[in-house]
Each structure stands twice: as C-alpha cells, then as structure tokens.
Amino acid sequence: MPTETVRQTMSIYGMFQDSDIFMKALMIGLLFASIWSWAIIFEKAASFKKIRKSMQAFTEKFWSGIPLSTLYNQVSKSVTDPLRAVFVTAMREWQRLNQKNKTVTVDEVQEVLEKNMQITVEKQLSVMENHMLFLASTGSVAPLMGLFGTVWGIMDSFNAIGLSQNTNITAVAPGVAEALLTTALGLIAAIPALIAHNKFSHDINHFMRDIQTFSDEFEGIVLRQMEN
C-alpha cells in the first residue's frame, strides 16, 4: 500500500490533485496556452501553404502574356492570396481613372496606384499576422509563469517541511516534483510557440518581399503602357 500511494502521488495527475488552487489554475492556464498555440500553428501552416500555392499559380498566369483585363476578369471573382488582392485593387483603380478622366496623367495614376496598393498590402499583412502576438507572448511569458509556479511550489513545500519538521526525502519529493511540473508545462507551451512564431515571421517577411516586388513590377507595366 505505501508503494501504491507514493506512485499515485508522484504521477502527473496525482501531483495536480495534490496542488493548491493557485497551482491548479496556473497549470490549467499553461495547458490551455499550449493547446491554443497548437491550434494556431496548424491553422497558420495550412493557411500559409494555401497562400504560397495560390501566389505561385497567379505569378505564372501574370507572366504568361495574358492581357491584364482578361486576367483581372478571371481573378477578381476569387481573391485567394495577397498578390491577387493587390492586382485586383490596382486594376480596379486604373480602370476607374480611365473611365472617369481620359486625360489623366502618369503622375496621377502612379500616386493612386501606390496609395491603394499600399493600403491593400497593409490589410493583407494584418490578416497574416493574426494570432502571431499570442504565439510570441506564449513563447516569452509561459516559461516565466512556469518558473513562478516552481518558486511558489518550493516555498509551499519548505513551509510544510518547517511545520511538520520532517526532512525525509519521501516527504519532500512530492512537493518539489509538483513545483517543477509547472516549469515543464511552461516549456511545453513556450518551445513550440516560439519556434512557430519565428517560422511564420520568416514566411510573412518572404511573402511581403514578393508582394512588394510584384507591386513595383505591376506599377512599372501600367506606367509604360500609358507612356506608349
């Protein structure tokens, strides 16, 4: 029986059951942060993969020599990536200017295109950065919360030892293990979140470079057509 009691106490569930309300709340919070981080990671990975494929397909269509008006009619019905969004916005403004004023100057077109494409880029960036703050916060805060829980648990264990005046290792070990459990949970939550945040940040920067390059190239094409 003593052996069975020690095993139950030293199990993760047993340590959770033996902890006080504060430690339980901290463990549940870290566990929730870990689960939510993984949900964001899977969602972001699938979303970025879809965006990458869509951007590649659009780039191939754009440089295939198809007329811009024909391409606009095709992609304006389904805007599935930032490149298409920028292209559709720019084409819509260009057509609007042509219909509104046939004597529009190159400088006016350039100013309108740059302004509207920049607004679209910022909107697309905001969408891609959704939930990134949570991953960053989890990666930086979760270890500190786990460490705080460890300090709290060790203080509680030493306080119990002082009251019981029992320094036997079998009496000390469960409290120390319980305290260290919060550090483990903090690291479990933080490490995947931090790795994912760095990876997705790199992907977003890569997307933004491609979008900016496309914006400059498209603006150049429009201005050359006007000059000709």
Which range marks the domain in which residue 18 is found? Answer: 2-227
Alpha-helical segments (H) within the chain: 2-10, 12-18, 21-62, 68-75, 82-100, 106-128, 132-164, 169-227
- Whether the CB-CB separation of 79 and 177 falls below 8 Å is answered with no
> Assign residue 165 a region: left if phi > 0, alpha if psi is -120 to 50, beta otherwise?
left
Domain count within the chain: 1
Of the candidates 90, 25, 139, the one whose C-alpha atom is nearest the C-alpha of residue 98 is: 90
What is the pLDDT tens value at each position of the chain, 228 positions in all? 344 444 444 577 677 777 778 888 888 999 999 999 999 999 999 999 999 999 999 999 999 888 888 999 989 888 889 999 999 999 988 888 877 666 777 788 888 888 999 999 999 999 999 999 999 999 999 999 999 988 888 887 777 676 666 666 665 666 677 778 889 999 999 999 999 999 999 999 999 999 999 999 988 888 887 776
